[in-house]
Amino acid sequence: MMLRGLWKLTWIEIKIFLREPLGAFGTIGFPVLIFLGLGRAFARGQAPSSFAATGFIRVGLPVLASILISLSAVLSLVTIISIYREGGILKRLRATPLRPQTILTAHVIVKLILTACSLALMVLAGKRYYPVGMHIPFFSFTIALLISTWSILSIGFLIASIVPTARFAQPIGAVILYPMLAVSGLFVPVASLPPALHAVAKVVPLTYAVSLLEGILRGDAWSTHLSDVVALAVVFVVCTGLSAKVFRWE
Amino acid sequence: MHPVIQVSGVRKTYGPTVAVDEVSFEVNDGEIFGLIGPNGAGKTTTMECIEGLRTPDRGTISVLGLDPFRDVYKLQERIGVQLQQAQLQKRIKVWEAVDLWSSLYRKKAVDGENLLKQLGLAEKRGAWFMNLSGGQKQRLFIALALINDPEVVFLDELTTGLDPQSRRTIWDLVRGIRERGKTVFLTTHLMEEAERLCDRVAIIEHGRIIDMDTPQRLVDRHCPERSVVLATDDPVAEERFRAIPAVEAVTCNGGRFTIRGRGDDFVTEVIRCLSENRIRVTDFRTILPNLEDVFLKLTGHSIRD
């Protein structure tokens, strides 16, 4: 019975998402276009033989794009949850036998599907138009991205629990999430950060997501990144636990 | 008749504010029961405690023999709820909302398409929620409240913000719910709505119930005064009116008289006086007190203040 409700709610939320003006394009198409555009710009500006340049194009940029896809899914979740709360939609759903967890699960599933679709589109488009082509272990990389997104979504829930109004949801979310990118090791390796930032990087969940995604993209075995997966799982447990305490339904 | 809702000694506070205090009442099977009072009187808080959406600080509540706190999921299977100022997803279609809601209940839902037809929403089934009018939205919320064929239906400020015509349509629909043998518990700050719809009402103010009965009995108890307004140019009329035993006051304003008195025989006596004295009148109206006056009498202020 609850599965029937979960499936219905998930399916309807997907349809509603696709009806949003700019919904599908803004969250799926746009990041992919940026990714292709940046890739081409970089390839043109750098000597093709430069190791640093090809490293960034082969690994850095795809990981950056994937993380951005994941972050945009998280921000969209934060916004939707706060709009639903402000409009009384969450409360109305809660006045049915639907379990609260089921409502939130449906939204997480929608965002994970969205992330997977964006990634698939990026890889397909990348194979054809990306300057160096996309040679990624697709299955492992998808799993790695879904684990990362799942973990970051729990941070999203925590943000959604504390933002005062829907109007501030997106900006507050962005201000919390995007700066994490700076110390995540994506642009500068964590090891070469100044000691103070080094400590910050250690507690920023994106660091582990970046490390996992880069590793899987380079073809590392899962076993060498167990610590990243464990760290992401810890983030999920902590944030979910905290938001269960402070989440407001209305 | 046996009570389907029993509320006893309920108190609910939000921080230092006491929203509801010592509230007790019973709602009988098959009646439309109204909780009436101004905004902020504690109507919604009381209703949401009964629906299991809030937990009272003190007191006991039983709905269909269930505890709304402990048995909330069992209860929600058997009740239908319309919340004040609720919204749905902007771009959900009418039929999708009905379809979604019917999948949320364990027991077999009523035929959604049929329900939409009865509520006059059949031709709007493919419309987005955001494009519905206020009245259509409320009718959709009624549909969602009825989808699980509930035994008790809760309606919170159902017609607030609607134009008079949509309001009348909704009133007919609510009477229809009672005719299907369901119990209706509603809140309103519109006295006319309470008077026309409710079998019994409880008047609540500052979180306390100040009286409870059928609308007619409340009027009879608190406002036995009657008034007759009439127009005449007969010079001896005023003198004659003052001689009527049940009359308490007569005021005259350029040929228009307002005669006040009390008791069921008052109007008859005025008419008899007119006919015995052959007083020719060009206008004659009786003014009977209503719930609005009862509220004013009990609280010292109008419900709109």
pLDDT for B305: 62
The pair phi, psi for residue B142, each rounded to 5°, is: -65, -40
Neighbour-count burial of A24, counting CB atoms closer than 10 A to its CB (0-12 exposed, 13-18 middle, 19+ buried): middle
- Residues B31-58 have a mean pLDDT of 94
Whether residue B7 contacts residue B68, with contact meaning beta carbons closer than 8 Å, is answered with no
B248 has a pLDDT exceeding 70: yes
Confidence of residue A23 (pLDDT cuts 50, 70, 90): confident
End-to-end CA distance of chain B: 37
- Residues A191-209 have a mean pLDDT of 87
Q: In whole angstroms, what is the distance from residue B105 CA to residue A239 CA?
A: 31
Whether residue B248 contacts residue B260, with contact meaning beta carbons closer than 8 Å, is answered with yes
A49 has a pLDDT exceeding 60: no
The pair phi, psi for residue A100, each rounded to 5°, is: -55, -40
Whether residue B26 contacts residue B36, with contact meaning beta carbons closer than 8 Å, is answered with no
Cα atoms in the Cβ-side hemisphere of radius 13 Å centred on A129: 15
Query: Are A8 and B51 within 8 A, CB to CB?
Result: no
Confidence of residue A50 (pLDDT cuts 50, 70, 90): low
- Residues A60-86 have a mean pLDDT of 88
Joined together, the tokens standing for residue B63 give 């709905």
Q: Which of A11, A13, A14, A16 to mutate to test the interface with B (most CBs of B within 10 A)?
A: A16
Q: In whole angstroms, what is the distance from residue A41 CA to residue A46 CA?
A: 9
Q: In whole angstroms, what is the distance from residue B86 CA to residue B134 CA?
A: 12
pLDDT for B299: 87
A106 has a pLDDT exceeding 60: yes
Joined together, the tokens standing for residue A222 give 């899962």
Neighbour-count burial of A109, counting CB atoms closer than 10 A to its CB (0-12 exposed, 13-18 middle, 19+ buried): middle
In the three-class reduction of DSSP (H, G, I as helix; E, B as strand; rest coil), residue B113 is classed as helix
Q: Kindly provide the residue ranges of all beta strands, DSSP E only, lying in B214-302, ordered along the sequence.
A: 225-231, 247-253, 256-262, 283-287
Query: Are A91 and B99 within 8 A, CB to CB?
Result: no
Neighbour-count burial of B229, counting CB atoms closer than 10 A to its CB (0-12 exposed, 13-18 middle, 19+ buried): middle
Length of chain A: 250
Instruction: Give residue for tokens 């060009």.
Output: B282
Q: In whole angstroms, what is the distance from residue A147 CA to residue A112 CA?
A: 9
ipTM for the predicted complex: 0.83
* Contacts of residue B274, Cβ cutoff 8 Å, sequence gap at least 6: B230, B281
Q: Chain A: give the shortest CA distance to residue B25, in Å.
A: 22
Determine the residue of chain A that is closest to B83 in CA distance.
A92
Question: pLDDT averaged over chain A?
Answer: 85
Confidence of residue A2 (pLDDT cuts 50, 70, 90): low
The type of residue at B212 is: M
- Residue A4 touches chain B, beta carbons under 8 Å: yes
pLDDT for A188: 81
Range of the domain at A114: 2-246
- Residues B122-149 have a mean pLDDT of 93
Whether residue A127 contacts residue A35, with contact meaning beta carbons closer than 8 Å, is answered with no
How far is CA B2 from its chain centroid?
21
- Residues B226-253 have a mean pLDDT of 90
- Residue A223 touches chain B, beta carbons under 8 Å: no
A217 has a pLDDT exceeding 90: no
Domain count, chain A: 1
Q: Chain A: give the shortest CA distance to residue B115, in Å.
A: 18
Joined together, the tokens standing for residue A100 give 């609260």
Q: With contacts defined as CB-CB under 8 Å, which chain A residues touch B86?
A: 87-89, 91-92
pLDDT for A125: 84
Q: In whole angstroms, what is the distance from residue B88 CA to residue B132 CA?
A: 11
Q: Which residues between 31 and 90 in chain A have a beta carbon less than 8 angstroms from any beta carbon of chain B?
A: 84, 87-89
Interface size, chain A vs chain B, as Cβ–Cβ contacts under 8 Å: 64
pLDDT for A48: 54
Q: With contacts defined as CB-CB under 8 Å, which chain A residues touch B104?
A: 5, 8, 96-98
Query: Are B53 and A92 within 8 A, CB to CB?
Result: no
- Residue A95 touches chain B, beta carbons under 8 Å: yes
Query: Are A12 and B81 within 8 A, CB to CB?
Result: no
pLDDT for A52: 59
Q: Chain A: give the shortest CA distance to residue B88, in Å.
A: 5
Give the DSSP H/E element, type plus range, for residue A116: helix A100-129
Query: Are B100 and A20 within 8 A, CB to CB?
Result: no
A22 has a pLDDT exceeding 80: no
Domains and CATH numbers, chain B: 3-215 (3.40.50.300), 224-288 (3.30.70.600)
Determine the residue of chain B that is closest to A4 in CA distance.
B103
- Residues B41-59 have a mean pLDDT of 94
Give the DSSP H/E element, type plus range, for residue B237: helix B237-243
Q: With contacts defined as CB-CB under 8 Å, which chain B residues touch A87?
A: 86-88
- Residues A160-168 have a mean pLDDT of 86
Determine the residue of chain B that is closest to A19 in CA distance.
B91
Q: In whole angstroms, what is the distance from residue B40 CA to residue B206 CA?
A: 7
How far is CA B229 from its chain centroid?
29
Whether residue B152 contacts residue B2, with contact meaning beta carbons closer than 8 Å, is answered with no
B205 has a pLDDT exceeding 90: yes
Joined together, the tokens standing for residue A148 give 């990362």
| B87-98 per-position pLDDT tens digit | 999 999 999 999
How far from A180 is each of A68, A200, A203, A240, B122, CA to CA, in Å? 12, 9, 10, 19, 51
- Residue A21 touches chain B, beta carbons under 8 Å: no
Q: In whole angstroms, what is the distance from residue B141 CA to residue B87 CA?
A: 9
B153 has a pLDDT exceeding 80: yes
A32 has a pLDDT exceeding 80: yes
Number of other CB atoms surrounding residue A126 within 10 Å: 22
Query: Are B106 and A12 within 8 A, CB to CB?
Result: no
pLDDT for B146: 92
Query: Are B103 and A5 within 8 A, CB to CB?
Result: yes
pLDDT for A8: 93
Confidence of residue A51 (pLDDT cuts 50, 70, 90): low
- Residues A162-174 have a mean pLDDT of 87
Query: Are A8 and B103 within 8 A, CB to CB?
Result: yes
Nearest-5° angle of CA B137, CA B140, CA B143?
Answer: 160
Whether residue A148 contacts residue A70, with contact meaning beta carbons closer than 8 Å, is answered with yes
Q: With contacts defined as CB-CB under 8 Å, which chain A residues touch B100?
A: 5, 8-9, 12
Q: Which of A15, A19, A95 sits opposite B81 (nearest CB)?
A: A95
pLDDT for B109: 77
